[in-house]
Amino acid sequence: MLPSPFAFERPSTIADAVSAVGESGDGMFYSGGTELLLAMKLRVIHTDRLIDIKGIPGLDRIVLNDANDIEIGARCTHNKIASDPVIREHVLALSSLCANVANVRVRSVGTIGGNLCFGEPHADPPTMLAALDARLVLNGPGGTRVVHADDFIRSELETVREPDELLTVIVFPRPTGPVTYRRFKHGERPSVNVAMAWSLAAGGRTIRSARVRVGALGSRPQPLKAIEDVIQGISVSEVRPAIEAVLPTALGELEVNEDRHGGADYKRHLAGVLLLRNAEEAIAAAGNA
Protein backbone atom coordinates (compact mmCIF):
# COMPACT_ATOMS: atom_id res chain seq x y z
CA MET A 1 0.00 0.00 0.00
CA LEU A 2 1.02 3.59 -0.40
CA PRO A 3 0.67 6.42 2.10
CA SER A 4 -1.86 9.12 1.41
CA PRO A 5 -0.32 12.24 -0.15
CA PHE A 6 1.81 14.50 2.08
CA ALA A 7 4.08 17.54 1.81
CA PHE A 8 7.77 17.26 2.55
CA GLU A 9 10.17 19.73 4.13
CA ARG A 10 13.80 19.54 5.02
CA PRO A 11 14.79 22.30 7.46
CA SER A 12 18.40 22.85 8.45
CA THR A 13 18.00 24.13 12.00
CA ILE A 14 16.23 22.83 15.07
CA ALA A 15 14.15 26.02 15.30
CA ASP A 16 12.99 25.69 11.68
CA ALA A 17 12.11 22.07 12.22
CA VAL A 18 10.06 22.88 15.29
CA SER A 19 8.17 25.65 13.59
CA ALA A 20 7.68 23.56 10.45
CA VAL A 21 5.82 20.90 12.40
CA GLY A 22 3.38 23.61 13.36
CA GLU A 23 1.37 24.23 16.45
CA SER A 24 -1.59 22.25 15.22
CA GLY A 25 0.73 19.28 15.15
CA ASP A 26 -0.36 18.22 11.69
CA GLY A 27 3.23 17.74 10.62
CA MET A 28 5.50 15.00 11.89
CA PHE A 29 9.23 14.65 12.27
CA TYR A 30 10.73 12.18 9.90
CA SER A 31 14.03 10.61 10.81
CA GLY A 32 14.91 7.17 9.43
CA GLY A 33 11.27 6.55 8.57
CA THR A 34 11.48 2.88 9.48
CA GLU A 35 8.47 3.05 11.78
CA LEU A 36 6.78 6.12 10.39
CA LEU A 37 6.67 5.23 6.70
CA LEU A 38 5.53 1.71 7.47
CA ALA A 39 2.68 3.03 9.59
CA MET A 40 1.78 5.58 6.92
CA LYS A 41 1.74 2.89 4.25
CA LEU A 42 -0.50 0.78 6.44
CA ARG A 43 -2.55 3.93 6.89
CA VAL A 44 -2.55 3.74 10.65
CA ILE A 45 -0.73 7.09 10.79
CA HIS A 46 -1.96 9.98 8.67
CA THR A 47 -0.03 13.21 8.36
CA ASP A 48 -0.15 16.12 5.95
CA ARG A 49 3.48 17.03 6.26
CA LEU A 50 6.75 15.29 6.92
CA ILE A 51 9.57 17.32 8.41
CA ASP A 52 12.80 15.55 7.56
CA ILE A 53 15.33 16.15 10.33
CA LYS A 54 18.24 14.62 8.46
CA GLY A 55 19.26 18.05 7.18
CA ILE A 56 19.95 19.42 10.67
CA PRO A 57 23.67 19.31 11.44
CA GLY A 58 24.93 18.13 14.81
CA LEU A 59 22.14 15.76 15.75
CA ASP A 60 24.22 12.68 15.12
CA ARG A 61 27.13 13.31 17.47
CA ILE A 62 28.31 10.97 20.20
CA VAL A 63 30.67 12.45 22.82
CA LEU A 64 31.85 12.06 26.39
CA ASN A 65 31.43 15.59 27.67
CA ASP A 66 33.28 17.56 30.35
CA ALA A 67 30.68 16.60 32.96
CA ASN A 68 31.60 12.95 32.39
CA ASP A 69 28.25 12.42 30.69
CA ILE A 70 27.80 10.58 27.43
CA GLU A 71 25.73 12.44 24.86
CA ILE A 72 24.10 10.64 21.95
CA GLY A 73 22.42 12.74 19.26
CA ALA A 74 18.86 11.65 18.56
CA ARG A 75 19.66 11.19 14.86
CA CYS A 76 22.28 8.50 15.51
CA THR A 77 21.43 5.29 13.75
CA HIS A 78 21.61 1.94 15.51
CA ASN A 79 24.62 1.12 13.35
CA LYS A 80 26.40 4.28 14.32
CA ILE A 81 25.93 3.61 18.03
CA ALA A 82 26.95 -0.01 17.58
CA SER A 83 30.29 0.93 16.08
CA ASP A 84 31.03 4.17 17.94
CA PRO A 85 34.35 4.07 19.84
CA VAL A 86 33.06 6.10 22.83
CA ILE A 87 30.08 3.79 23.29
CA ARG A 88 32.21 0.70 22.77
CA GLU A 89 34.68 1.87 25.38
CA HIS A 90 32.23 2.94 28.06
CA VAL A 91 28.95 1.06 27.46
CA LEU A 92 29.73 -2.00 25.40
CA ALA A 93 26.32 -3.46 26.23
CA LEU A 94 24.59 -0.55 24.46
CA SER A 95 26.80 -1.03 21.45
CA SER A 96 25.88 -4.70 21.20
CA LEU A 97 22.23 -3.92 21.89
CA CYS A 98 22.19 -1.63 18.86
CA ALA A 99 24.17 -4.13 16.80
CA ASN A 100 21.33 -6.62 17.28
CA VAL A 101 18.24 -4.46 16.97
CA ALA A 102 15.86 -5.38 14.17
CA ASN A 103 17.54 -6.14 10.85
CA VAL A 104 20.39 -4.71 8.85
CA ARG A 105 18.21 -2.29 6.92
CA VAL A 106 16.52 -0.88 10.01
CA ARG A 107 19.87 -0.57 11.77
CA SER A 108 21.43 1.39 8.96
CA VAL A 109 18.73 4.07 8.79
CA GLY A 110 16.63 3.71 11.94
CA THR A 111 17.62 6.06 14.75
CA ILE A 112 17.66 5.93 18.51
CA GLY A 113 15.49 9.06 18.66
CA GLY A 114 12.91 7.53 16.35
CA ASN A 115 12.89 4.38 18.43
CA LEU A 116 12.22 6.32 21.65
CA CYS A 117 9.66 8.72 20.17
CA PHE A 118 7.63 5.94 18.60
CA GLY A 119 6.97 4.49 22.05
CA GLU A 120 6.66 0.89 20.87
CA PRO A 121 6.60 -1.34 23.98
CA HIS A 122 8.56 -4.15 22.31
CA ALA A 123 11.74 -2.13 22.01
CA ASP A 124 15.28 -2.49 23.27
CA PRO A 125 16.83 0.97 23.79
CA PRO A 126 14.21 2.37 26.20
CA THR A 127 14.93 -0.36 28.76
CA MET A 128 18.66 0.19 28.57
CA LEU A 129 18.44 3.97 28.66
CA ALA A 130 16.18 3.84 31.71
CA ALA A 131 18.70 1.60 33.48
CA LEU A 132 21.44 4.08 32.56
CA ASP A 133 19.34 6.88 34.08
CA ALA A 134 19.36 8.78 30.81
CA ARG A 135 17.86 12.23 30.33
CA LEU A 136 16.20 13.16 27.08
CA VAL A 137 16.49 16.71 25.83
CA LEU A 138 13.42 18.05 24.03
CA ASN A 139 13.45 21.29 22.04
CA GLY A 140 10.08 22.95 21.54
CA PRO A 141 8.82 26.38 20.53
CA GLY A 142 9.03 27.49 24.17
CA GLY A 143 12.58 26.30 24.69
CA THR A 144 14.24 23.20 26.04
CA ARG A 145 13.17 20.72 28.68
CA VAL A 146 14.69 17.57 30.04
CA VAL A 147 12.75 14.38 30.70
CA HIS A 148 14.06 11.28 32.45
CA ALA A 149 14.02 8.14 30.35
CA ASP A 150 11.82 6.54 33.02
CA ASP A 151 9.17 9.20 32.51
CA PHE A 152 9.35 9.54 28.73
CA ILE A 153 7.10 6.75 27.53
CA ARG A 154 3.60 7.28 28.89
CA SER A 155 1.82 4.27 27.46
CA GLU A 156 1.83 2.09 24.38
CA LEU A 157 2.86 4.24 21.38
CA GLU A 158 2.50 7.39 23.48
CA THR A 159 5.22 9.56 24.98
CA VAL A 160 5.22 12.79 26.97
CA ARG A 161 6.74 14.57 23.97
CA GLU A 162 4.50 17.23 22.44
CA PRO A 163 4.07 16.93 18.65
CA ASP A 164 6.14 20.08 18.13
CA GLU A 165 8.99 19.05 20.41
CA LEU A 166 12.10 17.64 18.79
CA LEU A 167 14.18 15.14 20.71
CA THR A 168 17.72 16.35 20.15
CA VAL A 169 20.02 14.51 22.47
CA ILE A 170 20.15 11.69 25.01
CA VAL A 171 22.49 12.17 27.97
CA PHE A 172 23.55 9.74 30.67
CA PRO A 173 26.34 9.56 33.22
CA ARG A 174 29.33 7.50 32.17
CA PRO A 175 28.75 4.13 33.85
CA THR A 176 31.10 3.28 36.70
CA GLY A 177 30.29 -0.40 36.97
CA PRO A 178 29.11 -3.29 34.86
CA VAL A 179 26.19 -2.65 32.52
CA THR A 180 24.45 -5.75 31.26
CA TYR A 181 21.57 -6.29 28.90
CA ARG A 182 19.67 -9.29 27.60
CA ARG A 183 16.65 -9.71 25.42
CA PHE A 184 14.58 -12.70 24.51
CA LYS A 185 12.93 -12.73 21.16
CA HIS A 186 11.30 -15.24 18.86
CA GLY A 187 10.42 -13.26 15.80
CA GLU A 188 11.09 -9.66 15.03
CA ARG A 189 10.90 -7.81 18.35
CA PRO A 190 11.88 -8.57 21.93
CA SER A 191 9.29 -10.40 24.05
CA VAL A 192 11.07 -9.28 27.17
CA ASN A 193 14.34 -7.58 27.98
CA VAL A 194 16.27 -6.75 31.12
CA ALA A 195 18.95 -4.09 31.65
CA MET A 196 21.01 -3.73 34.79
CA ALA A 197 23.58 -1.08 35.67
CA TRP A 198 25.70 -1.26 38.81
CA SER A 199 27.80 1.40 40.29
CA LEU A 200 30.56 -0.09 42.40
CA ALA A 201 32.14 1.25 45.53
CA ALA A 202 35.88 1.89 45.58
CA GLY A 203 37.67 -1.42 45.37
CA GLY A 204 35.07 -2.75 43.02
CA ARG A 205 33.80 -5.57 45.24
CA THR A 206 30.71 -3.87 46.67
CA ILE A 207 27.65 -2.58 44.89
CA ARG A 208 27.00 1.04 45.77
CA SER A 209 23.74 1.16 43.86
CA ALA A 210 21.98 -0.65 41.08
CA ARG A 211 19.34 0.16 38.50
CA VAL A 212 17.33 -2.68 37.01
CA ARG A 213 14.73 -2.24 34.30
CA VAL A 214 12.51 -4.79 32.59
CA GLY A 215 11.11 -3.90 29.19
CA ALA A 216 8.50 -5.08 26.71
CA LEU A 217 6.22 -6.64 29.31
CA GLY A 218 3.99 -3.66 29.94
CA SER A 219 3.60 -0.46 28.02
CA ARG A 220 6.98 0.84 29.17
CA PRO A 221 10.14 -0.25 30.98
CA GLN A 222 9.55 -1.04 34.63
CA PRO A 223 11.98 -0.85 37.54
CA LEU A 224 12.60 -3.91 39.70
CA LYS A 225 12.77 -1.96 42.94
CA ALA A 226 13.01 -4.99 45.20
CA ILE A 227 16.06 -6.23 43.33
CA GLU A 228 17.71 -2.81 43.32
CA ASP A 229 17.19 -2.52 47.06
CA VAL A 230 18.38 -5.97 47.99
CA ILE A 231 21.68 -5.72 46.12
CA GLN A 232 22.47 -2.20 47.17
CA GLY A 233 25.47 -2.14 49.49
CA ILE A 234 26.19 -5.86 49.35
CA SER A 235 29.29 -7.59 48.12
CA VAL A 236 29.34 -8.79 44.54
CA SER A 237 29.77 -12.36 45.71
CA GLU A 238 26.46 -12.25 47.59
CA VAL A 239 24.43 -11.00 44.66
CA ARG A 240 23.03 -14.23 43.33
CA PRO A 241 21.43 -15.58 46.52
CA ALA A 242 20.22 -12.10 47.37
CA ILE A 243 18.43 -11.78 44.03
CA GLU A 244 17.03 -15.29 44.22
CA ALA A 245 15.55 -14.60 47.64
CA VAL A 246 13.37 -11.75 46.42
CA LEU A 247 12.98 -12.68 42.77
CA PRO A 248 9.52 -14.28 42.89
CA THR A 249 8.07 -11.30 44.73
CA ALA A 250 9.84 -8.82 42.49
CA LEU A 251 8.63 -10.54 39.33
CA GLY A 252 5.14 -10.80 40.74
CA GLU A 253 4.95 -7.04 40.94
CA LEU A 254 5.57 -6.52 37.24
CA GLU A 255 2.74 -5.46 35.01
CA VAL A 256 2.64 -8.01 32.20
CA ASN A 257 0.51 -7.91 29.07
CA GLU A 258 -0.64 -11.19 27.58
CA ASP A 259 0.00 -10.85 23.88
CA ARG A 260 1.39 -12.64 20.86
CA HIS A 261 4.75 -12.72 22.62
CA GLY A 262 3.44 -15.15 25.21
CA GLY A 263 1.50 -15.75 28.38
CA ALA A 264 2.14 -13.59 31.42
CA ASP A 265 3.62 -16.38 33.57
CA TYR A 266 6.04 -17.32 30.82
CA LYS A 267 7.23 -13.80 30.20
CA ARG A 268 7.58 -13.12 33.90
CA HIS A 269 9.67 -16.24 34.19
CA LEU A 270 11.81 -15.11 31.24
CA ALA A 271 12.45 -11.79 32.94
CA GLY A 272 13.86 -13.71 35.92
CA VAL A 273 16.04 -15.86 33.66
CA LEU A 274 17.47 -12.83 31.88
CA LEU A 275 18.02 -11.00 35.14
CA LEU A 276 20.00 -13.85 36.64
CA ARG A 277 22.04 -14.22 33.47
CA ASN A 278 22.78 -10.50 33.54
CA ALA A 279 23.81 -10.84 37.17
CA GLU A 280 26.22 -13.67 36.32
CA GLU A 281 27.78 -11.54 33.63
CA ALA A 282 28.03 -8.52 35.90
CA ILE A 283 29.59 -10.60 38.69
CA ALA A 284 32.19 -11.91 36.25
CA ALA A 285 32.84 -8.42 34.92
CA ALA A 286 33.25 -7.00 38.42
CA GLY A 287 35.61 -9.84 39.22
CA ASN A 288 37.76 -9.06 36.22
CA ALA A 289 37.85 -5.34 36.82
Ligand X SMILES: Cc1cc2nc3c(=O)[nH]c(=O)nc-3n(C[C@H](O)[C@H](O)[C@H](O)COP(=O)(O)OP(=O)(O)OC[C@H]3O[C@@H](n4cnc5c(N)ncnc54)[C@H](O)[C@@H]3O)c2cc1C
User: Is 124 an interacting residue with respect to ligand X (CB under 6 A)?
Assistant: yes
Q: With CB cut-offs between 5 and 8 Å by kind, which of ligand X, another protein, none does residue 269 bind? A: another protein
Which phi and psi (to 5°) does residue 237 adopt? -70, -15
Stretch that binds ligand X, among 123-131, 141-149, 241-249, 267-275 (CB under 6 A): 123-131
Q: How many residues bind ligand X (CB under 6 A)?
A: 31
Return the residue of 153, 166, 200, 231 that touches ligand X, per CB under 6 A. 166
CB-nearer residue toward another protein: 90 or 182? 182
What is the C-alpha to C-alpha distance for residues 116 and 285, in angstroms, rounded to an integer?
A: 29
Return the residue of 79, 95, 115, 180 that touches ligand X, per CB under 6 A. 115
SS percent in the chain: helix, strand, coil, step 5: 40, 25, 35
- Please name the residues in contact with 284: beta carbons below 8 A apart, sequence gap of 6 or more: none
User: Is 147 an interacting residue with respect to ligand X (CB under 6 A)?
Assistant: no
Return the residue of 94, 101, 236, 251 that touches ligand X, per CB under 6 A. 101
What is the C-alpha to C-alpha distance for residues 142 and 245, in angstroms, rounded to an integer?
A: 49
Interaction site with another protein (CB under 8 A):
1-2, 4-5, 38, 42-43, 103, 184, 186-188, 260, 262-263, 266, 269-270, 273
What is the C-alpha to C-alpha distance for residues 81 and 60, in angstroms, rounded to an integer?
A: 10
Are the C-beta atoms of residues 136 and 218 closer than 8 Å to each other? Answer: no
Q: Is 57 helix (H, G, I), strand (E, B) or coil?
A: coil
Task: Pick out residues in 14-73 that bind ligand X (CB under 6 A).
Answer: 28-36, 38, 53
Q: Side chain identity at 130, as an amino acid letter? A: A
- Please name the residues in contact with 5: beta carbons below 8 A apart, sequence gap of 6 or more: none
What is the C-alpha to C-alpha distance for residues 18 and 121, in angstroms, rounded to an integer?
A: 26
In whole angstroms, how close is the CB of 13 to ligand X at the nearest point? 14
User: Is 117 an interacting residue with respect to ligand X (CB under 6 A)?
Assistant: yes
Return the residue of 167, 196, 210, 231 that touches ligand X, per CB under 6 A. 167
Return the residue of 62, 92, 99, 102 that touches ligand X, per CB under 6 A. 102
In whole angstroms, how close is the CB of 124 to ligand X at the nearest point? 4
Strands 190-200 and 179-185 come out as antiparallel
In whole angstroms, how close is the CB of 184 to another protein at the nearest point? 6
